[in-house]
Structure 1
Amino acid sequence: MPDTLTASKPVAQTTTEHFDVLIVGAGISGVGGAYHLTKQLPGTSFVVLESQQSFGGTWITHRYPGIRSDSDLYTFGYRFKPWKGAPIASAEEILTYMGEVIDENDLARHIRYRHVITSARWSSADNRWTIEGKRTDTGESFHITANFLWMCQGYYRHSEGYTPEWPGMADYKGCVVHPQTWPTDLDYRGKKVIVIGSGATAATVVPAIANDCEHVTLLQRSPTYFIPARNANDLADTLRQLEIDESWIHEIVRRKILHDQAVFTRRSFEEPEKVKDELLAGVRAYLGPDYDIATHFTPNYRPWRQRIAFVPNGDLFQGIRAGKASVVTDEIDRFTEKGLKLKSGRELEADIIITATGFNLNILGDIAFEIDGKPLNFADTVTYRGMMFTGIPNMVWVFGYFRASWTLRADLVADFVCRLLTQMKAKQARKVEVALRPEDKDMKLLPWIDTENFNPGYILRGMHLLPKRGEKREWQHTQDYWNEKKEFPTIDLDDKAFVYA
């Protein structure tokens, strides 16, 4: 991991600074946004404020054993920076990659770490945002004004993960750990461990600790789908043998993966039973014909209604077959002194219980927003393509994809922001916001996402906090990269949905 603690020097603030653009967050979206600003709009003054001690976002928040991507890095990586490693990468490899982007493009001078934003106030009289917050290293307050806010802080709360409240938790004598706040001194060697959860985090933690534990049990309420396969890309390996330039390899492999993902996504809607059988066959190939796949690895929903995690080299299933790990599909009745009592009546003992139970949704960074003195309720707005919102001027939010890599949308949104800023300059406009057009006045408003289409728990728990979507495509986050990659570059910035002042 690169040394980033000194990448940006402390800035003594005695007056209010002003920037053309303020980027919130130095994760994969914020670093990408900074790159695009420097390349597409050179001369734009901007600053990136990051609450943590370094860049990386999720990749420094999560420090649990085995932390890795669940998307391939040919598409999770930036389009402008070739990825040269295995498709599924460790957090350390991703941080190294991001550090290279920062160093190669002189972005460090724009990034300020340990800067926590507490409030953001828009003034129509001044046509600018006023940002206030504190530095976590010195306790010093800071005040910054900006013409435009680019929200790249992600969608979950970094300070704490989601752990349900089960009866009897206070009775348990062992240790309860959430992967998002993994203790650096946690010793699980020779211990009995239960991992509660069924998603990508659980599927990562279990094989990472299985060889050191006495035994690890994956306890899930219901199964999820996985794709076990070799952590390699044959096409990339072949092209490297042919000594093809890495930038060409990146683009060719990226396009092939995206093509295959588009086909897979379409088939999950058109022939879900066939896709389901193929996914289960992949698991069966590792666990053998006698394993109870129906109980433990056959979800009750069609593929792609929740994210599907890639399991590199089938490591989760190898641990199960070797007897180092096991799966229990049941519901928790209560915690006991020694472990868990399940609703079936079965009891599981454990020295450590790991709650890989998901995220707490974070809406716009938990920042107190005001528009002309009135507190902003994000849920009262309607989204324009999942990135702008009615009644919120000069702001764009990056919210990536579930069925494709997050960064694909971060790149698309970055292009849009640069186009929009250019349009504002051409119009000599200091303010832009989106508004429903006359033809939209009778449009039905719906929740942020169609739960029949996609329904992860953290979205369902936080749906009431999110903006509304409309029935028309431009008033929703479609989760459809394969059409958005064509639509975004052709968005008509003179459409009546954009109101300039």
Structure 2
Amino acid sequence: MTTTTSPHITFDPAPDGDLLDVLIVGAGLSGIGAAHFLQQRCPGKRFAILESRQAIGGTWDLFRYPGIRSDSDMYTLGYAFKPWTNPKAIADGPSIRRYVQQTAEEAGIVRHIRFGQQAVSASWSSRDACWTIRARRTGTMEEQVIRARFLYLCSGYYSYDEAYRPEFEGEADYQGRIVQPQFWPEDLDHAGKRVVVIGSGATAVTIVPSMAQTAAHVTMLQRSPSYVLSRPSQDKIANFLLRHLPARLAYAISRWKNVLVAMFFYRLSRRRPDQVKQYILKLAGQELGSGYDVHTHFSPRYKPWDQRVCFVPDSDLFQAVREGRASVVTDGIARFTPAGILLNSGKEIPADIVVMATGLKLQLMGGMTLQVDGQPFQPAEAMAYKGMMLSDLPNCAMAFGYTNASWTLKADLTAAYVCRLLNYMDRHRKTIAVPRRDEQVRPQPFLSFTSGYVQRAKDVLPQQGERRPWQVYQNYFQDLMTIRYGRIDDGVMRFGTREALP
């Protein structure tokens, strides 16, 4: 029963008690997976999921722009425990959203989700060995207070409310329409229109071929190029295995196959970047023909995997360019004009619609503010423990996936580790777990990516260390050994009981 403590703040207890064992923040891919692991491996734990929106799916429910799809194959982006049986390995957003929804419904997770509640702050008390979380109902000023022994943050790494949006001179003079992919308007009709998509990342290479199907013409306007590789939308080997083997076995084999292939390509890219670059450019040249200026439009200044490689299914971007329905322009923007965009070269691109595919704004922990025993906690001053917890932050984990592979591979490992940690604490009658930083471990950037959204977030992201367990690996096998098989009580993770932090 909910009891009122003030005109605008209510106390919201767990369904069968006044203290949750685990509060999960976010009902997207990571949050639903975390809940599934908790139900399977910690069946006695009371948990709830806070979801600021009114739907399950996170990213895959928020993004509704044309062509929205995964850029990882679904045999690794899907959950380890639930086979992906759709023939398409590179899946569209609605299919992924249905997959997450189905997972939640089948496991009875939906009843644990509190929709329309955004976590705004969390305060840890060592005396009580629990978190007090303030959650605001979406669209109102009404707040609820929730208490939980463990806080599990599955809210992703970017702001749902704000994208990165540079301002350009002359925008006020432009007579067309400017839209952002993250906030795609339902009433936008681009059929027969001239479209300019500003950007060169995964969002841009997805939108361009999709809009080019009905637009008069689509121009991908980029300041600098990205690496773009074509891959089949269907995995023939996986589909063959699915026809001849039980679904779980076929899925497991396909998952490991794709993990190994991705790791091989990444390691080869880091060891022999020049050769890999030339190979990628060669493939692009074969797609676009000998007369196309591949080096201008598809040859980045950075090495492969210094930023994420863009994958396009069944060569759809290359096909659109090859057929003249789309084009790629590499130039800087001088200003907007009433009819389009004037480039630094002096050329003007006419546009009825401009799509700002200019990137995300990184945000950790869903934008919550944190306190530990009354003192503000700044994630940027902390060091990441195994890429999932932060130094000096008790009883708190966060899901943060890979930059060079599927997000879910790391999210699954994190969920399994949280369950191991909780069960260990129960066996040893401990109520507090906190990683303690060794001051002799030198800090390094949390991510080595040179992408703009990462560089803009240097003051937001935590640090990593020069040695384990403070290193943030971009390697599934290393994490598998460290997270799944490493000791819980490793000398860095400290355990204690109520009253004082260990």
Q: Secondary structure at the match of 1:87?
A: coil
- Do the aligned partners of 2:134 and 2:143 also contact (CA within 8 Å) in 1? yes
2:2, 2:12 within 8 Å by CA — same for their partners in 1?
Answer: no
1:266 shift after superposition: 1.2
Amino acid at match of 2:476: Y
Cα distance in 2 for residues equivalent to 1:482 and 1:429:
30
Query: Residues 67-86 of structure 1: matches in 2 within 5 Å?
Result: 67-85=68-86, 86=88
1:471 aligns with 2:462: no
SS at match of 2:456: helix
Give, in angstroms, the shift of residue 157 of structure 1.
0.3
In the alignment, is the contact (CA less than 8 A) between 1:398 and 1:410 conserved in 2? yes
Partner amino acid, structure 2, of 1:129: W
1:183 aligns with 2:181: no
Q: Secondary structure at the match of 1:224?
A: coil
1:428 is the counterpart of 2:401:
no
Structure 1 spans left out of the alignment, 5+ residues: 1-10
Shift of 1:127: 1.1
Q: Equivalent residue for 1:388?
A: 389
Q: Name which of structure 1's ranges 481-490 and 407-416 shifts more when overlaid on structure 2.
A: 481-490
Stretch moving more, 473-482 or 146-155: 473-482
Of 229, 232, 254 in structure 2, the residue corresponding to residue 230 of structure 1 is: 232
Match status 1:120 vs 2:117: no
Counterpart CA distance in 2 for 1:139 and 1:247 is: 46
Given that 1:160 and 1:181 are in contact with CA atoms closer than 8 Å, whether structure 2 keeps it comes out as no
Give 2:482's match in structure 1, choosing from 484, 487, 493.
Answer: 487
Q: Deviation per CA, 1:416-435: give whole Å up to 9, x if none.
A: 10011111112211111111
Q: Does 1:198 align with 2:200?
A: yes
Once the two structures are superposed, residues 276-325 of structure 1 have per-residue CA deviations (whole angstroms, 9 ceiling, x without a partner) of 12222222222111111011111111111111122111111111111111
In the other structure, the counterpart of 1:4 is: none
Q: 2 CA distance for matches of 1:228 and 1:446?
A: 34
Matched residue, 2:60: 59
The residue that corresponds to 2:216 in the other structure is 214
Q: Report 1:407-422 matches (<5 A).
A: 407-422=408-423
Which of 421, 433, 439 lines up with 1:441 in the alignment?
A: 439
What is the aligned partner in structure 1 of residue 165 from structure 2? 163
1:486: Cα distance to partner?
2.0
Q: Which moved more, 1:198-207 or 1:159-168?
A: 159-168
What TM-score, normalized to structure 1? 0.94
Shift of 1:500: 1.1
SS in structure 2 at match of 1:473:
coil
Stretches of 4+ moved more than 4 A in 1? 11-14
Matched, 1:321 2:322: yes
- Determine the C-alpha separation between the residues in 2 that align with 1:294 and 1:232: 29
Between stretches 41-50 and 12-21, larger displacement belongs to 12-21
Partner deviation per Cα, 1:397-443 (whole Å, 9 max, x = no partner) = 1110011100000000011100111111122111111112xxx4322
Counterpart secondary structure, 1:334: strand
Instruction: Give the 3 Å change call, closer, same or farther, for CA 235–339 of structure 1 in structure 2.
Output: same
* Corresponding letter in the other structure for 1:371: V
1:6 is aligned to: none
SS in 1 for 2:133: strand
In structure 2, C-alpha distance between the alignment counterparts of 1:44 and 1:482, rounded to whole Å: 29
- The offset of 1:128, in angstroms, is 0.7
CA distance in 2, matches of 1:412, 1:13: 38
Contact in 1 for aligned 2:263/2:475 (Cα 8 Å): no
Gapped regions of structure 2 (runs ≥ 5): 5-10, 14-18, 497-502
Q: How many residues align?
A: 484
Taking structure 1 as reference, are residues 265 and 324 closer, same or farther at Cα in structure 2, changes over 3 Å only?
A: same
**Partner residue of 2:25?**
24
Per the TM alignment, residue 371 of structure 1 is displaced from its structure 2 partner at its CA by: 1.3
How much does 1:12 deviate?
5.6
1:459 corresponds to which residue?
454
Structure 1 residue 349 corresponds to structure 2 residue 347: no
The answer (yes or no) to whether the contact 2:386–2:483 under 8 Å persists in 1 is no
SS at match of 1:465: coil
Does the aligned pair in 1 maintain the 2:91–2:233 contact within 8 Å?
no
